[in-house]
Structure 1
Amino acid sequence: MTAPARNPGGTELPPLLAALLAAPGPPGYEERAAHAWRAAAREFADDVAGDVLGSSTARVRGGGERPRLAIVGHIDEIGLIVTHITDRGLLRIAALGGWDPQVLVGQRVTVLARDGEVPGVIGGKPRHLQRGDERKRVPELRDLHIDIGASDREEAAARVRVGDVAVIAADPQPLVGGRVASRALDNRLGAYVALEALRRVAEAGGADVEVVAIASAQEEITFAGARTAAYAVEPDVAVIVDVTHATDVPGADEGELGSHPLGSGAVIARGATIAPAVFEGLVAAAEKHGIPYTVEATARSTGTDADAVHLTRSGVACGVVSIPLRYMHQPVEIVDLADVEACAALVAAYALALRRGQRFER
């Protein structure tokens, strides 16, 4: 496991989070991150397993009674996939997840090739060569390519194949005030919190009910991993852990999004697809233990794995706990580690408050 990232101001990443952020894992290619998560889970969980889609589960039996709680955080990050190698050895690309192409120009990337990692950069047409309205137009992904330095198709194809994937090359950067910038905070944070909350449940001797952490695959493209893992685990209740937009930056409308600045704690969702009993239970746990939180209203879908989990089998009572995040789906996502801690403490407290026989019918 990698050593914690530090800076002179004292910001330090938890070792598991550092390991998860060091491991690339775009949708469908989450193996490295999943293996780091499973290795950490084996230190305390009763059962640890993976499935054919790449999702992972870790279980603490506790009282072994219903309701069974699932804590779900997706482990994939947005990435790129190679679609073609040109005669000049450039790699044409498509998106794995929701990119804004203008943030990709000039980024360093790592291509995950069969024989190892291949460094490259994302190139586009320089401003000096743009004409007329080109300078006013936002670039599209089809305008961009990855340049690994190859002279021609043959040299590039000796290192990279069509279907290889790439991620941004950006190591975690500790910032002042306990904050960190990194790629893949969406949603290695959720996968980390799910397992950290489970660890705290195990450390407490288990909950009154069985608790299962899930690091789901492919959330950024289809919610597939959460759908199949939840089907297999058969939870009665689930807490999905993801990120939400921090509202303390220009362009964030608090009238639309609510107020969730960095440092404000966990964000608890409330809305049509959120089970009222789960929302109230999360709020009660936060208030009992003095955990800072805000509330986020979701008018329709949540945009998280909850949208798949709550429809699994005959239905699952779902709650969503989110971590405020600046610059989502960009190479410079920023989080406050105090908010990560608040989410882990909240989810663990909620799990330990569940009682056998508790029901969630509306």
Structure 2
Amino acid sequence: MPLPDALRDLLTATGPSGYETAPSAAFRKHAEALGAEVTVDAMGNTFARLKGTKEDAPTLAVVGHADEIGLVVTHIDDDGFLWFTGVGGWDPQILVGQRVAVTTRDGVVPGVLGRKPIHLLDEDERKRVPKLKDLHIDIGAKDGDEAKGRVRIGDTAVVAAEPLELPNDRVVSRAMDNRLGCFVALEVARLVHERGGSPGDVLAVAAVQEEIGCFGAGAAAYGQEPDVAIVVDVTHETGAPGIDVKQEGKHGFGSGPVLERGSILNPHVFERLHDAAEAEGVTFTVAASGGRTWTDADAIHLVRQGIPTGLVGLPLRYMHSPVEMVDLGDVAGAAKAIAALAMTLEPGTSFAR
């Protein structure tokens, strides 16, 4: 299965939380190609609406988040080195020795993440896990003036890691978390469009600022007022070494999307997703949460008088790294199941608990 053009465009766009302009533009381009009505709100959330075929049928929002984890420049020293903090949750060990792309007003500036070489580390330093404050970005500037002429405080960076296609429909890239969710939202709209439209509107959403607090999704849900929402985000693939399936569940590559149940998730949405996936022949697994899901579902379900919300996970290896890996078959299964659900949302559908 080749990497779809829409997913490639989303993955190669750079956009940490609060700086999602590029991935949002990629989302808009592919949504407009479907003939969807595309709008953007003040926060930067992007909406692609396909009109339904029946009045009073419920509107389904399919929500992915467009932001990714990244870095933001906080200081430029007199020697031309850039100092930074994280945007979202990083394991600093992953960053040592990586190439980065710094997005500036004048374009992308390449650089590398530097640390004192192992030869110069004393014994205690070698044993200590590095912190973000121990790392710097080197853009090859000869001094601070040159660096400040190319980069400003507040510019952001991401690890330079282009998509890599591997055997067995597996793809590696940065920003799989969660451009995959945005891609699934677009795919649901495409599949529904190919079927002649669903009873109610389908609203594909590329939300912003999830990695720093699920801020965009709450505003998006408040403004758009969908009748039901399905959040699509990544979850941990559990076939990799060292993962305890008794704690995380068994969600290996090729087992399909993960349909989640839990305290904040609407049980009727889950059952409808479950039945739709089975009817379409989509393989899936089930996960459970006892409280927060740590996804945009946490923000959406309590907006206004409450929005019935479901959650679909995409099994992902090496989360929050430049080598996030996914099985494209699992992604396709998620879109197929959600699109099938959309086709069942007739006028009068109730999600009352």
Q: TM-score, normalised by structure 1?
A: 0.96
How do residues 147-166 of structure 1 correspond to structure 2 at under 5 angstroms? Answer: 147-166=138-157
Identity %: 55
Query: How far apart, CA to CA, are the structure 2 residues paired with 1:66 and 1:60?
Result: 13
| 1:54 aligned partner | 44
* Structure 1 residue identity aligned to 2:334: C
Structure 1: 4+ residue segments shifted above 3 A? none
Query: How far apart, CA to CA, are the structure 1 residues paired with 2:287 and 2:35?
Result: 32
Q: 1:21/1:64 Cα in 2 relative to 1: closer, same or farther (>3 Å)?
A: farther
* Structure 1 residue identity aligned to 2:184: V
Query: How far apart, CA to CA, are the structure 2 residues paired with 1:60 and 1:155?
Result: 49
* Structure 2 residue identity aligned to 1:91: L
Query: How far apart, CA to CA, are the structure 1 residues paired with 2:37 and 2:233?
Result: 24
Q: 1:127/1:64 Cα in 2 relative to 1: closer, same or farther (>3 Å)?
A: farther
* Matched residue count: 352
1:355 to 339, 346, 350: 346
User: How far is the alpha carbon of 1:47 from its aligned partner?
Assistant: 1.3
Contact 2:46 2:207 in 1 (8 A): yes
* Structure 2 residue identity aligned to 1:222: G
Query: How far apart, CA to CA, are the structure 1 residues paired with 2:79 and 2:345?
Result: 60
Query: How far apart, CA to CA, are the structure 2 residues paired with 1:145 and 1:52?
Result: 33
Deviations 1:287-325 (A, max 9, x none): 111101000111111111000000111101110011100
Aligned pair 1:20/2:10, yes or no?
Answer: yes
Aligned pair 1:256/2:247, yes or no?
Answer: yes
- How big is the alpha-carbon RMSD for the aligned residues of Structure 1 and Structure 2? 0.9
Q: Tell me the SS of whatever aligns to 1:288.
A: helix
Contact 2:237 2:316 in 1 (8 A): yes
Contact 1:67 1:359 in 2 (8 A): no
Query: How far apart, CA to CA, are the structure 1 residues paired with 2:121 and 2:250?
Result: 41
Query: How far apart, CA to CA, are the structure 1 residues paired with 2:166 and 2:202?
Result: 34
Deviations 1:58-107 (A, max 9, x none): 11111242422111000111100000001110000100011000100000
1:123 to 114, 122, 146: 114
| 2:287 aligned partner | 296
Contact 1:78 1:99 in 2 (8 A): yes
* Structure 1 residue identity aligned to 2:14: P
Q: Tell me the SS of whatever aligns to 1:117.
A: strand
| 1:3 aligned partner | none
Query: How far apart, CA to CA, are the structure 2 residues paired with 1:296 and 1:45?
Result: 35
User: How far is the alpha carbon of 1:44 from its aligned partner?
Assistant: 2.2
| 1:137 aligned partner | 128
Query: How far apart, CA to CA, are the structure 1 residues paired with 2:49 and 2:35?
Result: 6
Deviations 1:249-283 (A, max 9, x none): 11211001100011110100011011000010110
Aligned pair 1:84/2:75, yes or no?
Answer: yes
Query: How far apart, CA to CA, are the structure 2 residues paired with 1:116 and 1:211?
Result: 35
| 2:203 aligned partner | 212
Q: 1:253/1:359 Cα in 2 relative to 1: closer, same or farther (>3 Å)?
A: same
| 1:228 aligned partner | 219
Contact 1:123 1:146 in 2 (8 A): yes
Query: How far apart, CA to CA, are the structure 2 residues paired with 1:307 and 1:125?
Result: 41
| 1:7 aligned partner | none
* Structure 2 residue identity aligned to 1:86: D
Query: How far apart, CA to CA, are the structure 1 residues paired with 2:203 and 2:34?
Result: 12
Q: TM-score, normalised by structure 2?
A: 0.98
Q: Give structure 2 stretches of 5+ with no counterpart.
A: none
